[in-house]
């Protein structure tokens, strides 16, 4: 198919003729839909937020806000999108009215993005019982109004009135994800819906650039002007979208958006429950995936230390079928993985029972919406007498790859979990890594974090272990 059609603000749109490398934001603005703003083009400000109609984890349709600056236009194929131009029906939408009446807008540049995030929050099932979720606007920045009036606008949102057309829309199913094969000249965009199709396409187009949520890759395309002849999107692959919380393991598809994992796991395992609220913003988490986070093999990615601590395995799929890689063997060098040519990350398997003690810590300049300077995932198994039977202490930001402090782990195993044992582990961990200095932190600061996070582990858990 060489046409690219989707629904924009309730109208069928034919966007054929657009480069598959184009983002939704650029296309919208070029076509005159200039309500959606560009602030940073790297997912940091939320001025570009739009809303998708997507299938929620309970099967019902939901409004999901995303950053259109990191959303490839071709990903919109067959989908339904609302921009700020589509929210008002005659009179202002209640979200817009709340922003006006409570003084939530000054220069107005950030306002369309806030309106779209608040719009999705307005229709969130559960808002009536739980109240306004401040996290819903965590990915939107404002540089002149001040956040208090915007927060008050959120808190002041009325309940949904009868006959609300946007609420009625959610009573029908969200659009299905159909396979896409879109071309403009030599440039192609594929969006297969099965793993067999995805691996076959990758085998046929070995130079294709794989994309899932795009929250890493499209930043690179925007900032470094990288362009690809062939793009292979995994976001609609059915087998990569599974979530199975079984007796032996929690298995999470590589393409499940982080916000969905966050909603589905609740408080368990605590390492992941602590990780997701610290991982960027809801806007990013609505698109970012575990597959993308692991495939980048960034030494400061947040999921690797957590998954290393949980003893996870990564199932990869390629032309000759599937194989399982223990996560400790996935990262082979700076931004390099053990994936062979043609292989894709299919899912992550986290064995059960979960460790008796599990903690995730992230050290960054801001608590929320920031990249790690150092991150740590700690997991201990204690027996009934309080003796450590197993330990996994994993770090990010201290070496070329996410890594475990194995000597420090050995210093804990077989001993009662005590201040003394933690001191032994700290002594081993202190010499385990040679961190680098960069703009986020000096080598000395990072080295200090390696041991002080073990103090934090003891402070958080020692008294109750």
Ligand X SMILES: Cc1cc2nc3c(=O)[nH]c(=O)nc-3n(C[C@H](O)[C@H](O)[C@H](O)COP(=O)(O)OP(=O)(O)OC[C@H]3O[C@@H](n4cnc5c(N)ncnc54)[C@H](O)[C@@H]3O)c2cc1C
CB of 48 to ligand X, least distance (A): 12
Stretch that binds ligand FES, among 101-109, 188-196, 300-308, 425-433 (CB under 6 A): 101-109
Our finding on whether 45 is near ligand FES (CB under 6 A) is yes
Stretch that binds ligand X, among 77-85, 161-169, 260-268, 284-292 (CB under 6 A): 284-292
What 439-445 contacts at long range (C-beta under 8 Å, 24+ apart), as own/partner pairs, is: 440/300, 440/364, 440/365, 440/371, 440/372, 440/373, 440/397, 441/363, 441/373, 441/374, 441/397, 445/373
Indicate the residue among 102 and 315 with the shorter CB distance to ligand X: 315
Helix (H/G/I), strand (E/B), else coil: 135: helix
Residue 234 binds: one of ligand FES, ligand X, none (C-beta under 5 to 8 A by kind): ligand X
Q: Which of 1, 89, 134, 144 binds ligand FES (CB under 6 A)?
A: 144
Q: Which of 20, 35, 43, 214 binds ligand FES (CB under 6 A)?
A: 43
Give the distance between the most distant pair of CA atoms in the chain.
Answer: 70
Q: How many CA atoms lie within 13 A of 248 on its CB side?
A: 2
Our finding on whether 154 is near ligand FES (CB under 6 A) is no
Residue 345 binds: one of ligand FES, ligand X, none (C-beta under 5 to 8 A by kind): ligand X
- Can you say whether the dihedral through the CA atoms of 4, 45, 279, 138 is positive or negative? negative
Q: Which residues 30-59 are close enough to bind ligand X by CB under 6 A?
A: 42-44
Our finding on whether 164 is near ligand X (CB under 6 A) is no
Indicate the residue among 96 and 215 with the shorter CB distance to ligand X: 215
Q: How far apart, in whole angstroms, are the C-alpha atoms of residue 235 and residue 223?
A: 22
Our finding on whether 40 is near ligand FES (CB under 6 A) is yes
User: How many other C-beta atoms lie within 10 A of the C-beta of residue 410?
Assistant: 13
Q: How far apart, in whole angstroms, are the C-alpha atoms of residue 401 and residue 305?
A: 10
**Six-digit token string for 399:** 């070496």
Q: Which of 10, 60, 108, 131 binds ligand FES (CB under 6 A)?
A: 108
Q: Which of 86, 113, 292, 311 binds ligand X (CB under 6 A)?
A: 292
User: How many other C-beta atoms lie within 10 A of the C-beta of residue 127?
Assistant: 16
Q: Which of 61, 87, 110, 219 binds ligand FES (CB under 6 A)?
A: 110
CB of 131 to ligand FES, least distance (A): 24
Helix (H/G/I), strand (E/B), else coil: 252: strand
Helical spans, DSSP H, in 79-216? 94-101, 111-122, 127-130, 147-155, 165-169, 195-204
Q: Which residues 69-88 are close enough to bind ligand FES by CB under 6 A?
A: 69
**DSSP label of 222:** H
Our finding on whether 20 is near ligand FES (CB under 6 A) is no
Our finding on whether 234 is near ligand X (CB under 6 A) is yes
Q: Are 331 and 401 in contact, with CB atoms under 8 Å apart?
A: yes
Closest to 297 in 3D by CA, of 242, 364, 345 = 345
Helix (H/G/I), strand (E/B), else coil: 410: helix
Q: Are 102 and 145 in contact, with CB atoms under 8 Å apart?
A: no
Q: How far apart, in whole angstroms, are the C-alpha atoms of residue 300 and residue 399?
A: 9
Residue 217 binds: one of ligand X, ligand FES, none (C-beta under 5 to 8 A by kind): ligand X
Residue 108 binds: one of ligand FES, ligand X, none (C-beta under 5 to 8 A by kind): ligand FES
CB of 103 to ligand FES, least distance (A): 10
Indicate the residue among 212 and 408 with the shorter CB distance to ligand FES: 212
- Residue 284 makes CB contacts below 8 A (sequence gap 6+) with 43, 67, 70, 139, 215, 258
Stretch that binds ligand X, among 98-106, 116-124, 216-224, 418-426 (CB under 6 A): 216-224
Indicate the residue among 134 and 427 with the shorter CB distance to ligand FES: 134
Q: How far apart, in whole angstroms, are the C-alpha atoms of residue 16 and residue 4?
A: 5
Chain positions contacting ligand X, by CB under 6 A: 42-44, 209-217, 219, 234, 254, 279-280, 284, 287-289, 291-293, 295-296, 301-302, 344-345, 371
For ligand FES, the binding residues (CB under 6 A) are: 38-41, 43-48, 67, 69, 105-111, 142-145
């Amino acid at each position: 198919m060489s046409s690219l059609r989707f629904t924009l603000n309730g109208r069928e749109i034919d966007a054929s003729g657009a480069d598959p490398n184009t983002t939704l934001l650029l296309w919208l603005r070029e076509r005159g839909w200039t309500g959606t703003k560009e602030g940073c083009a790297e997912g940091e400000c939320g001025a570009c937020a739009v809303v998708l109609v997507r299938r929620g984890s309970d099967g019902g349709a939901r409004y999901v806000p995303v950053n259109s600056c990191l959303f490839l236009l071709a990903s919109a194929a067959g989908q339904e999108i609302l921009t700020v131009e589509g929210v008002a029906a005659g009179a202002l939408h209640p979200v817009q009215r709340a922003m006006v009446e409570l003084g939530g807008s000054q220069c107005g540049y950030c306002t369309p993005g806030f309106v779209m995030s608040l719009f999705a929050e307005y229709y969130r099932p559960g808002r009536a019982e739980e109240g306004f979720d401040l996290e819903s606007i965590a990915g939107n920045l404002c540089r002149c109004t001040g956040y208090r009036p915007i927060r008050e606008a959120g808190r002041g949102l009325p309940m949904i009135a009868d006959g609300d057309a946007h609420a009625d829309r959610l009573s029908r199913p969200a659009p299905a994800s159909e396979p896409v094969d879109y071309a403009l000249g030599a440039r192609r965009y594929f969006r297969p819906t099965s793993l067999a199709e995805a691996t076959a396409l990758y085998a046929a187009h070995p130079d294709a650039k794989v994309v899932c949520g795009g929250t890493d890759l499209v930043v690179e395309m925007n900032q470094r002007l990288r362009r690809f002849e062939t793009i292979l999107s995994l976001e609609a692959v059915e087998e990569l979208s599974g979530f199975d919380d079984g007796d032996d393991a929690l298995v999470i598809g590589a393409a499940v958006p982080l916000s969905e994992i966050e909603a589905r796991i609740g408080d368990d395992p605590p390492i992941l429950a602590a990780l997701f609220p610290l991982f960027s913003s809801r806007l990013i988490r609505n698109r970012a995936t575990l597959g993308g986070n692991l495939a980048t093999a960034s030494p400061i990615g947040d999921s690797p230390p957590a998954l290393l601590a949980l003893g996870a395995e990564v199932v990869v799929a390629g032309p000759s079928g599937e194989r399982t890689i223990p996560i400790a063997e996935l990262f082979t060098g700076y931004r390099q993985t053990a994936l062979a040519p043609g292989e894709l990350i299919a899912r992550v398997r986290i064995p059960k029972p979960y460790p008796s003690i599990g903690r995730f810590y992230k050290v960054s300049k801001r608590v929320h919406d920031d990249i790690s300077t150092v991150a740590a995932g700690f997991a201990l198994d204690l027996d009934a007498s309080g003796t450590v039977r197993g330990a996994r202490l994993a770090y990010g930001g201290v070496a070329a790859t996410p890594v475990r402090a194995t000597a420090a782990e050995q210093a804990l195993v077989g001993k009662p979990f005590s201040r003394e044992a933690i001191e032994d582990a700290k002594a081993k961990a202190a010499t385990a890594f040679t961190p680098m200095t960069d703009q986020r932190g000096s080598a000395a600061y990072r080295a200090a974090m390696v041991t002080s996070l073990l103090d934090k582990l003891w402070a958080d858990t020692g008294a109750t272990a």
